[in-house]
Amino acid sequence: MDDRKYNKNRWWIYTSKIKIMAFLQFKNVGIKAMSACVPKNISSNYDLGYLIPEDEIEKTINSIGIKEKRFVDSNVCSSDLCVKAAEKLFEDNNIDRSSIDMVLFLSQTADYRIPATAPIIQHRLGLPQTTASLDLNLGCSGFVYGLSTAFSYASIEGIDRVLLLVGETFSKIVNPKDKVNAPLYGDAGTATLIEKENKSSSYFLLNSDGKGENAVKIPSGGYRNPVKVDDLEERLREEGNIRSNLDVYMNGMDVFNFAIRVVPRGVKEIMKKVDLSVEAIDYLVFHQANKFMTDFFVKRLKINDSKVPYCIGKYGNTSAASIPLTIVSELFDTDISNNKIIMSGFGAGLSWGTALVIPRDLSISKIIEY
């Protein structure tokens, strides 16, 4: 660890084991509206008898907390779910499309390698050509990172409204014969509208540790390891799992050990930074990795579990989309204006981020299906 000192433009906070960096504070920017779209197709984990012994299915479901997930049809992409969510957001909030200054699309399952998906979405949504468009690629910490990026743009002169679209279709990259991943992942798309306002402050802690790159990975298909013919071949892997080199791999134990080390610490750090007690938190929204893990966080942080919403049981792990999906699906009928909400995302990269937001007059649309 280096001996970097305080810099007036950044905060560098050191702990005994982990350097917490990139502490960001935004004033006069907030979340205006949120919406989400999930596929109509339901995949039940009770139907995994072909993969998991029948007498272990109930135990598996109770451990991960996932009874079912939603899967897209083969011709539907994450951008399609995000576009549907955005249309719902526009309709419910009477949003003038010409008022959108920027579109951010965050996904690891984009439409193409080239071109970026955000400009395509700009056109599909009928947004003006003056709309800036940008793709972001990050895993399960993605919503927190994407939200900080949206806040950054919305806080500068010339940009008043940013549409953040976060969606994943992991059903396209998870091998159904992979006992680790098949029970976990589902598909979803979300839309979040960020705009200038005069009422709130928000705080972010962003971190990464690239030495853990192999914990969650698709080995081939990029430009480090271009696709070869044998990459398409399904092979028997560790502990009887089957997948190709174009399917996602996850070392569950590595991810678990990483998460229990950094996630509670990140939540405590952001509370300490803003002088907030655990009792003062209204909601703590975790990335929906699996319920065993998040239950561990709840106990470690000693927070009332009624303040920790879950949607994992009916939608599974939707990667970067899971935090906004949880808010939309579980807090739709709840007035969370002026609530102190901490969000915590963590996963592939390795990467993790924690945010404290206090929404003012936030509109949450009812979740829709496509």
pLDDT tens digits for range 266-275: 999 999 999 9
Average confidence (pLDDT) over 193-200: 88
Average per-residue pLDDT in the chain?
92
Confidence of residue 240 (pLDDT cuts 50, 70, 90): confident
Task: List all residues 6 or more positions away from 48 whose beta carbon is below 8 Å from its beta carbon.
Answer: 57, 60, 182, 183
Residue with the larger pLDDT of the pair 161 and 240: 161
What share of the chain in percent tops pLDDT 90? 88
**Among the ranges given (3-7, 74-78, 236-240, 263-267), the one the predictor scored with the smallest mean pLDDT:** 3-7
Say whether 317 is catalytic: yes
Task: Estimate to the nearest angstrom the gap between the alpha carbon of 51 and the chain centroid.
Answer: 27
Residue where the block lists tokens 């070392």: 251
- Specify the higher pLDDT residue, 11 or 135: 135
Task: Give the integer Cα–Cα distance in Å for 40 and 147.
Answer: 27
Closest residue by Cα to residue 166 from 154, 153, 183, 149: 149
pLDDT tens readout for residues 99-150: 999 999 999 999 999 999 999 999 999 999 999 999 999 999 999 999 999 9
**Is the separation of the CB atoms in 131 and 160 below 8 Å?**
no
State the Cα–Cα distance between residues 306 and 301, nearest whole angstrom.
Answer: 13
- Tell me the mean pLDDT in the region 287-300: 94
- Using the predicted structure, report yes or no on whether residue 12 has a pLDDT greater than 50: no
The confidence score (pLDDT) of residue 320 equals: 97
Q: Does the pLDDT at position 1 exceed 90?
A: no
- Predicted local distance difference test score (pLDDT) of residue 198: 76
Residue pLDDT, tens place only, 43-80: 999 999 999 999 999 999 999 999 999 999 999 999 99
* pLDDT attached to residue 11: 36
Please report the pLDDT score of residue 89 as a whole number: 98
Query: How much is the pLDDT for 14?
Result: 34
Residue 13 clears pLDDT 70, i.e. is over it? no
* Tokens coding 240: 């009887």
For this structure, is 287 an active site residue?
Answer: yes
| Interstrand relation of 187-208 and 161-169 (parallel, antiparallel or unpaired) | antiparallel
Residues 45, 181, 207, 287: which is the catalytic one? Answer: 287
Which one is catalytic: 140, 207, 290, 311?
140
Given phi > 0 = left and psi -120 to 50 = alpha, else beta, which region is 251? Answer: beta
Q: Which among 323, 327, 325, 330 has a CA at the least distance from the CA of 362? A: 327
pLDDT at 151 over 90: yes
- The percentage of residues in the chain with a pLDDT greater than 70, rounded to a whole number, is 94
Split at pLDDT 50, 70, 90, the class of 19 is: low
Alpha helices by DSSP H, listed for 12-105, are 54-64, 78-93
What gap in Å lies between CA 183 and CA 68, rounded to an integer?
8
Q: Does pLDDT of 18 surpass 60?
A: no
> How many other CB atoms sit within 10 Å of the CB of residue 177?
17
* pTM as predicted: 0.91
The number of residues making up the chain comes to 370
CB 111 within 8 Å of CB 226: no
Residue 21 has a pLDDT of: 60
199 falls in which pLDDT band (50, 70, 90)? Answer: confident
CB 151 within 8 A of CB 223: no
Question: What are the two backbone dihedrals, phi and then psi, of residue 337, each rounded to the nearest 5 degrees?
Answer: -60, 135
Domains defined along the chain, listed by start: 1-370 (3.40.47.10)
Residue 239 confidence (pLDDT)? 79
pLDDT of amino acid 158: 94
Question: pLDDT class for 3, splitting at 50, 70, 90?
Answer: very low
Q: Quote the tokens at residue 39.
A: 């596929």
